[in-house]
Structure 1
Amino acid sequence: MLSRSQWLLIISCVLFCDLHKKIQCATGQPNVVFIVADDLGWNDVGFHGSNQIPTPNIDALAYNGIILNSHYGQSYGTPSRAALFTGKYPMKLGMQGPSITPGESRALPQGKLISEYFKEMGYATHLIGKWNLGYSRWNDTPTLRGFDHFLGLYNSFSSYYDYVTSWKFNGKDYGGFDLRRDTVPSWNDAGKYATDLFTEEAVDVIQKHNVNTPLFMMIAHLAVHIGNEGKWLEAPQETVNKFKHIRDPNRRTYAAMVSKLDDSIGAVFEALDAKNMLQNTIIVFISDNGAPTVGPSHNWGSNYPLRGIKDTLFEGGVRTVACIWSPLLVQSSRVSTDLIHITDWLPTLFTAVGGDLGVLDPDLDGIDQWSSLVYDLPSARNDIPLNIDEKTRNAALRFSYWKLIVGTSGNGSYNSYFGAPLNEDIDPQSYNTSAINDSPIGRIARKINYNPLSENDFEGLRNVATLKCLDAKAKRNPCDPASGAVCLYNIPNDPCEENDLAKFFPSVVRRIKRTLVDYRQGLIPQMEVTTDIDNADPKLYQYAWNPWRDCSDVSCSS
């Protein structure tokens, strides 16, 4: 008699073969559109239970696809992007530290990226938005790392209208233009709101795309990251005016930025539909990390009810908003709690488009999740090393339903922060399910779905996707890793990380520590943060941020 695992293997093989037939019968290889929000809070989308900021397009995408409620990134943008592009844990690349800042020499190490794998598969490859993986040399920039076309920023932030990135180093101010079209500063695009500019570019790419060639497009939004000091948040005033129910004026602008992001996703979906590309497209939407809710660079986002913020290894820092939509998903309109890490997207999407996993780097850390997503099969991933930082001595590992945290970041300043409950609106809003149906994505989904979802279905999925902390009467054992304690949590039962179980399950603590030690063996020491701002000074390159290590004078400027 066959065992359960043997039966599962047989079923998986049959379904996998069926899936490949389905892909081959489609019009060519599937298109892939991967959308990354920046510093978006867990509580800043409607499908996670918030009524404050309507996100009808994002919600429609999530409800008609799969809500990934246990999706993890890294706690900073550069490490998350490194993991996404390489399929490797940042600690295997020396990129487990903070994000790359202007004028820094660090860059993503050489090695094949997701863009290069897809290009070799015959895809047209486009990156629109943020790079933030280094630009000290031309060979570190997007068009020399597998992208046919690039419109966006080299740095991690800029203003949303003039694309100036200002940076203070050793008491001196530096500033320059940071918007490129391929390798050339795109001066003519200054004045256009960043989210709208990137949306227009994505729509233009789709409209001009030759449908006989598969498309791989990554839209890495600047939104909702802060801009420059003095104008941290920016959005069109007419959009800000829609959020008069929000008392805090900064939160109001933040809500407008999220709303523009939602409009963008709707516009891209409409463009794909108009081009008759939707039926053979995979769309993924994630945030790179949680919101920096408080602190010197906070953006007024909310990770409620999760503990922690960006730069921490608590759930609020590393558990991110995520969903996937595609007609290729057989089991959709559900909430998945299976573990999935940002490194998994490279092998998962490569399999989805019919690629041979055997050609991928054998040292990849990402796990192919495609069959699990398509057919709702058990995930092959059992653990996620959320990070091991040898400098701060901070580490965390999600192991099945357990999570262990050792050490702290930012001297523990944000270890107890749970995010704002957002119950101080001037005029509290109700959840508008009709707006989801009436959104561009909602309308198109109703048109193409054989069995369209009802508004009751939206509410049901939302209820499942909304995380709930421990009951008020439940026992709590607080734990602050800044005190030197090792904290252990049962995440499905305690997603808000309120009840430390380390003293009750010492054997679990020992086992997870051993696993962390095993992962530690593959760690590459962090690249040194070396700022070469005098040579990178934008005034040397017509006041634009520019690669500087390939050249000795202004003649290398584009």
Structure 2
Amino acid sequence: MIVETSFLQPWFIYLSFQAVHSPLQVPEAYVQLNHHIIDARRRLYAGMVSCMDEAIGGIVETLKQQSEWENTLLIFTSDNGANPKAGGSNWPLRGNKGSVWEGGIRAVGFVNSFFFDKNRRGSVTNELIHVTDWFPTLINVADGNLKGTQYLDGHDQWTTIRYGIPSTRTEILHGIETVDKSSNRAVFESIFNTSRTASLRVGIWKILTGLQGSSSRRNKSSLLANVRLFDIKNDPQERTDIAPKFPYIVTNMLQRLERYQRRMVSCHNPEIDPLANPKYHNGFWQPWQ
């Protein structure tokens, strides 16, 4: 994403790379750049990263040639964790793309701009930021307003990014399974059906429900068989389930999940459109509608 503010009216470019994503395909020259990587899938994956990096570098170079780079805000971000079966790695985090473990939901990114003070350049933030936050944040950067906009889930994160001020976001709903299941809800029957796959982060706490991952790490208590609680700040690898120690935290977070569930609306999944096939677009993935 790029926001440009040097003109009378700001302009915005959103560039969504197909890389890095399966299928693992890249010109041989980029594979050779990473010939030292033994694993074939990992080598292809790295080649795709090199190719994407070169493309982004071309954009930056063009902005510099047009004397616009110093007026540009560049945001680079991923959307989910990696798929190890396609050459990715989330180590040392647990879980893969498609899961609600940290390895599946944590996304990395960076923001580059001459707007930042020198003491903020190169800094790192671990504040909670969600994809829905980009819209109000960029509207603020572009001196726009949200008058007339319906209620937003997103938070304006510009002061957090620019000045390191703590984020106003305190929680993130990672997801709630849309298909209900019938099963024993144990002691939480009156709160939330814990057989449903769901996850919520509130402050340092993260709760997961449903039968996820290896049973060897599952809570052995029959009352908490489908519930896990983690202190993500001190245990980002989600190794120690502390649900039995903090039943009041579990109860409060399940109540929050139930509140979100009551506000859920049906998900619209459109039919697959064969016109999107790259064979109709000179072999490229591109907008087709």
TM over 0.5: yes
Deviation at 1:530, TM superposition (A): 5.9
Q: Does 1:235 align with 2:31?
A: no
Q: Does 1:271 align with 2:58?
A: no
Q: Does 1:215 align with 2:184?
A: no
| Deviations, residues 480-536 of structure 1 (Å, cap 9, x unaligned) | 79x942111111111111110100111111111111112222210222x464x6xx5
Assess if the C-alpha contact under 8 Å between 2:219 and 2:241 holds in 1.
no
1:469 aligns to what?
none
Say which of 202, 221, 224 aligns to 1:399. Answer: 202
Assess if the C-alpha contact under 8 Å between 2:177 and 2:198 holds in 1.
yes
2:47 aligns to what?
256
Q: Does 1:373 align with 2:161?
A: yes
2:253 aligns to what?
512
RMSD over aligned CA atoms reads 2.8
Say which of 279, 287, 305 aligns to 2:92. Answer: 305
Q: Does 1:364 align with 2:152?
A: yes
1:160 aligns to what?
none
CA distance in 2, matches of 1:261, 1:354: 31
1:544 aligns to what?
280
1:478 aligns to what?
217
CA distance in 1, matches of 2:93, 2:54: 26
Secondary structure at the aligned position of 1:397 is classed as strand
Deviation at 1:538, TM superposition (A): 4.7
1:429 aligns to what?
none
| Deviations, residues 260-312 of structure 1 (Å, cap 9, x unaligned) | 11222222112112111122211111111111213xxxx11101111001110
CA distance in 1, matches of 2:237, 2:27: 34
- Counterpart residue type for residue 202 of structure 2: F
Say which of 330, 333, 353 aligns to 2:142. Answer: 353
Matches within 5 A, 1:285-364: 285-294=76-85, 299-330=86-117, 331-359=120-148, 361-364=149-152
Gaps of 5+ in 2: 181-195, 282-287
CA distance in 1, matches of 2:92, 2:227: 22
Secondary structure at the aligned position of 1:243 is classed as coil
Matches within 5 A, 1:444-463: none
- Counterpart residue type for residue 262 of structure 2: Q
Secondary structure at the aligned position of 2:218 is classed as coil
Deviation at 1:224, TM superposition (A): 1.1
CA distance in 1, matches of 2:171, 2:87: 31
CA distance in 2, matches of 1:380, 1:342: 14
- Counterpart residue type for residue 506 of structure 1: P
Deviation at 1:214, TM superposition (A): 2.6
Deviation at 1:318, TM superposition (A): 0.6
- Counterpart residue type for residue 64 of structure 2: D
- The alpha-carbon distance between structure 1 residues 244 and 537, as it changes in their structure 2 partners (threshold 3 A), is closer
Assess if the C-alpha contact under 8 Å between 1:283 and 1:324 holds in 2.
yes
CA distance in 2, matches of 1:335, 1:376: 9
1:83 aligns to what?
none
Assess if the C-alpha contact under 8 Å between 2:218 and 2:225 holds in 1.
no
Assess if the C-alpha contact under 8 Å between 2:10 and 2:142 holds in 1.
no
| Deviations, residues 339-362 of structure 1 (Å, cap 9, x unaligned) | 000100000111111112334x23
- Counterpart residue type for residue 43 of structure 2: R
| Deviations, residues 386-422 of structure 1 (Å, cap 9, x unaligned) | 11122162111111011101125xxx4xx35xxxxxx
CA distance in 2, matches of 1:404, 1:381: 17
Which shifted more, 315-324 or 516-525?
A: 516-525
Q: Does 1:524 align with 2:265?
A: yes
Assess if the C-alpha contact under 8 Å between 1:479 and 1:499 holds in 2.
no
CA distance in 2, matches of 1:382, 1:337: 12
Assess if the C-alpha contact under 8 Å between 1:279 and 1:326 holds in 2.
yes
- The alpha-carbon distance between structure 1 residues 480 and 341, as it changes in their structure 2 partners (threshold 3 A), is farther
Q: Percent identity?
A: 35
1:281 aligns to what?
72
- The alpha-carbon distance between structure 1 residues 530 and 223, as it changes in their structure 2 partners (threshold 3 A), is closer
Secondary structure at the aligned position of 2:179 is classed as coil
- Counterpart residue type for residue 17 of structure 2: H
Secondary structure at the aligned position of 1:324 is classed as strand
Assess if the C-alpha contact under 8 Å between 1:402 and 1:491 holds in 2.
yes
CA distance in 2, matches of 1:280, 1:326: 8
- Counterpart residue type for residue 174 of structure 2: L
CA distance in 2, matches of 1:367, 1:313: 22
CA distance in 2, matches of 1:538, 1:235: 23
- The alpha-carbon distance between structure 1 residues 376 and 526, as it changes in their structure 2 partners (threshold 3 A), is same
2:178 aligns to what?
390
Assess if the C-alpha contact under 8 Å between 2:102 and 2:237 holds in 1.
yes
Q: How many residues align?
A: 261
1:225 aligns to what?
21
CA distance in 1, matches of 2:219, 2:234: 19
